[in-house]
Amino acid sequence: MSEQPEGLEQDRTAVELFAGGGGLAMGVQRAGFRPLLFNEFAKRACETLAINGEKPIPVDIEAAETEGDSDCLWIPGPGERPPLAVGDIRKVRFSYLEGKVDVLAGGPPCQPFSLGGIAKGDEDKRNMFPEMFRAIREMKPKAVICENVRGLLRPSFKPYFDYIVREMELPFEERGGDVLWQEHDEVLRRKLAEGTVDPAQRYQVVVTQVNAADYGVPQVRQRIIIVAFRADLNVDLEAFQYRVRPTHSEDALFQSMLDGTYWERHEVPAGVRKHVMARIPNTISRADRLQPWRTLRDAIRGIEENEGKPLPPIPPEFLDRRERNLGNVTDHIGWPGARIYAGHTPNELDRPAKTVKAGVHGVPGGESVMLLDDGTHRYMTVRETARVMTFPDSWRLEGPRGEQMRQLGNAVPVRLGEVFAKAVAETLRESEARG
């Protein structure tokens, strides 16, 4: 997580809220941003953050508050370990970071808005968007990156999502404790229509619907990415949007199968190839110049950091929950009990994996079951799942299997986070160059 690109023009800084297992944080750091602070509530996720990358120093926020030490956090210098504020974000004060943060990143808990959650939306106490806006007010970052589920765009939530966007545009127009969100939304609409808000207290917001597979992630994962730039920076929003356009496509994957380049990378039985090729539609675009979607087979073979490091197979007799030295990677452990039945179909090797969800091995829909070339099936290992989330094999996950899978399901794929963070960095750099 500490790797940063060469040739940085200045010391770029970042804060990561709702950091979880560290996917977005790693992507932001790979884009050249140095972490000043992490925050996470879940115990196991905090342990994961503390043993990887920058190895942030855990600080128990609630204990510090009890002891009267409200100034327990600090601003690390280059090369110094950042603090990890462990606990409820509502206990964290961010004003000490005012003017010091280039990008504030995080994915507020999605359960209030996801199909898998109880879908109470803004009435759900787990809705942490208000805390994200408070952090913006106290830090005044140059840019914000916020990831969440596409459930925010469901008709029942769309009015509230539009309100969230307007709050992101005018975070300093704070909502009172006894004010309905609909009433606050009217205030925001009026302020935006008047156009008189100080640009230093207003943000320009871009909402992008993404499928992670379109950005080189070997997984179909539908999300929204909200990016905001402080209005006084006068960034080129069109240039930013161009930088986050899709780079990979399904049609390009089909083309690579038809011309044989996909199969040249993999030793696949002839019968399996024939079955896969027979399902390629006749309507694919021959003019597609994007890169091919990456598949579960690609991930297991090794891509990017893991290139040329194929994960070894899990023999049937190894489905016994025991850690073995298979390829010198951790968490590549067989797990028994996988089943396939109606509505619970498995991942196919020559497609991107299904969306990794924040459940344990038995989540509905077969998201962690894979169909092998010999027609048998088994659960994906934690390490295979981490590869689908584009984590390097060096990234360790703390806790039992269920907790590890939950961290992965809640994470932002590293590569997806990196694409958007790099686009933010380039857009800020371009703005500064113009003066």
pLDDT of amino acid 328: 83
Q: Where in the chain is the domain with CATH 3.40.50.150?
A: 12-246+410-434
Which residues have a Cβ under 8 Å from the Cβ of 414 and sit 6 or more positions away?
23, 26, 27, 30, 389, 390, 391, 392
User: What does each of the 435 residues of the chain score in pLDDT, given as a tens digit?
Assistant: 555 455 445 799 999 999 999 999 999 999 999 999 999 999 999 999 999 988 999 999 989 878 877 789 999 999 999 999 999 999 999 999 999 999 999 988 755 554 444 444 455 566 789 999 999 999 999 999 999 988 888 888 888 899 999 999 999 999 988 898 899 999 999 999 999 999 999 999 999 999 999 999 999 999 999 999 999 999 999 999 999 999 999 999 999 999 999 999 999 999 999 999 999 999 888 777 899 999 999 999 999 889 989 999 999 999 999 988 888 899 999 999 998 888 788 999 999 999 998 864 444 456 799 999 999 999 999 999 999 999 999 999 999 999 999 999 999 999 999 999 999 999 999 999 987
Look up 72 and say whether it is catalytic: no
63: number of Cβ within 10 Å: 12
pLDDT of amino acid 67: 82
Rounded to whole angstroms, the Cα distance separating 320 from 335 reads 6
Query: Phi/psi of residue 385, each to 5°?
Result: -65, -40
Residue 96, judged by CB atoms within 10 A of its CB (0-12, 13-18, 19+), counts as middle
217, 411 in Cβ contact below 8 A?
Answer: no
Rounded to whole angstroms, the Cα distance separating 263 from 217 reads 19
19, 39 in Cβ contact below 8 A?
Answer: yes
Q: Running DSSP on this structure, what letter comes out for residue 232?
A: G
Which residues have a Cβ under 8 Å from the Cβ of 268 and sit 6 or more positions away?
297, 350, 373
pLDDT of amino acid 118: 41
Span 12-246+410-434 CATH architecture: 3-Layer(aba) Sandwich (3.40)
pLDDT of amino acid 401: 93
147: number of Cβ within 10 Å: 25
Strands 203-211 and 248-249: unpaired
Rounded to whole angstroms, the Cα distance separating 54 from 78 reads 11
Name the residue among 64, 55, 60 with its Cα closest to residue 35.
55
- For residue 15, the surrounding DSSP H or E stretch is strand 12-17
| Cα of 157 vs its chain's centroid, Å | 21
Q: Tell me if residue 27 falls in helix, strand or coil.
A: helix
Measured between its terminal Cα atoms, the distance across the chain in Å is 31
Residue 79, judged by CB atoms within 10 A of its CB (0-12, 13-18, 19+), counts as exposed
Helices (H), 140-219: 158-169, 181-194
Rounded to whole angstroms, the Cα distance separating 357 from 367 reads 7
Residue 154, judged by CB atoms within 10 A of its CB (0-12, 13-18, 19+), counts as middle
pLDDT of amino acid 414: 98
288, 251 in Cβ contact below 8 A?
Answer: yes
pLDDT of amino acid 7: 45
Q: Looking at 46, 72, 110, 146, which residue is catalytic?
A: 110
312, 326 in Cβ contact below 8 A?
Answer: yes
